[in-house]
Structure 1
Amino acid sequence: MAGLDKATQNSALKKAIYILIFLLVIDLLFLLFHYFVHYYKSGYFASFTFTEISRRGNTYTRYYFSIAQDGGFGEMFQYFKFVMAGILLLYLAKTMRSKFLLLWAALSFFLFIDDWLGIHEMIGGEVIGQSLKSYGKNTYANGQLVYGILFTVIVCIVGFIFWQRSSPQVKSLSLRLFLSLGVLWTSAVLFDHLRGIIRMHYYVGLVLEEGGEHFAASAFLFFCCLYVFKQKQSINQEAAIVKN
Structure 2
Amino acid sequence: MLIFGDATFGTLHVVNEHTALLGDPRFDIGLDRGYPEIYQYLKYLWAGMILTLHSFRRAAWPYLSWASVFAYFLIDDAVRIRERFAGRVTANFDLIPILNLRLQDYGEMIIAATAALLLLIPLGWTYHKGPTTFRKFSQTLFVMVLMLVFLGVLVDVGHVAIERHVGEAIFFVVGMIEDLGEMLVASMMLWYVFAQSRTQFASPPGPKLWLKRLFSRTQWT
TM bin (shorter chain): 0.7 to 0.9
Preserved CA contact (<8 Å) 1:88 1:225: yes
Match for 2:123: what amino acid? Answer: G
1:32 matched to 2:1: no
Deviations 1:17-68 (A, max 9, x none): xxxxx1111111111111111124xxxxxxxxxxxxxxx3554x2x111111
**What is the Cα deviation at residue 133 of structure 1?**
5.2
The CA distance in 1 between the partners of 2:11 and 2:203, in whole Å, is 40
Deviations 1:136-192 (A, max 9, x none): 252111211122122223322331111100011111212222111111100110111
Give the SS at the match of 2:129.
coil
Preserved CA contact (<8 Å) 2:58 2:204: no
The CA distance in 2 between the partners of 1:136 and 1:184, in whole Å, is 25
**What is the Cα deviation at residue 235 of structure 1?**
5.3
The CA distance in 2 between the partners of 1:177 and 1:96, in whole Å, is 20
Distance 1:134 1:106, change over 3 A: closer
Q: Which range moves more in the overlay, 197-206 or 25-34?
A: 197-206
Show structure 2 runs of 5+ residues with no match. Answer: 206-221
Matched with 1:216 is: 185
**What is the Cα deviation at residue 80 of structure 1?**
0.5
The CA distance in 2 between the partners of 1:218 and 1:97, in whole Å, is 26
Distance 1:104 1:233, change over 3 A: closer
Give the SS at the match of 1:70.
coil
Preserved CA contact (<8 Å) 1:129 1:141: no
Matched with 2:92 is: 131
Q: Following superposition of structure 1 onto structure 2, how do residues 170-185 of structure 1 map, counting pairs within 5 Å?
A: 170-185=134-149
Match for 1:208: what amino acid? Answer: I
Give the SS at the match of 1:77.
helix
Match for 1:111: what amino acid? Answer: F
Q: Which range moves more in the overlay, 165-174 or 127-136?
A: 127-136
Match for 1:123: what amino acid? Answer: F
% of aligned pairs identical?
Answer: 21
**What is the Cα deviation at residue 208 of structure 1?**
2.1
Preserved CA contact (<8 Å) 1:130 1:140: no
* Displacement over 4 Å in runs of 4+: 232-236
**What is the Cα deviation at residue 101 of structure 1?**
0.7
Matched with 1:65 is: 27
RMSD between aligned residues: 2.0
Preserved CA contact (<8 Å) 1:89 1:104: yes
Could you state the TM-score of these two structures normalised by the residue count of structure 2?
0.81
Distance 1:133 1:69, change over 3 A: farther
Matched with 1:91 is: 53
Deviations 1:107-137 (A, max 9, x none): 212211111111111123x222333453225
Matched with 1:158 is: 122
The CA distance in 2 between the partners of 1:85 and 1:168, in whole Å, is 21
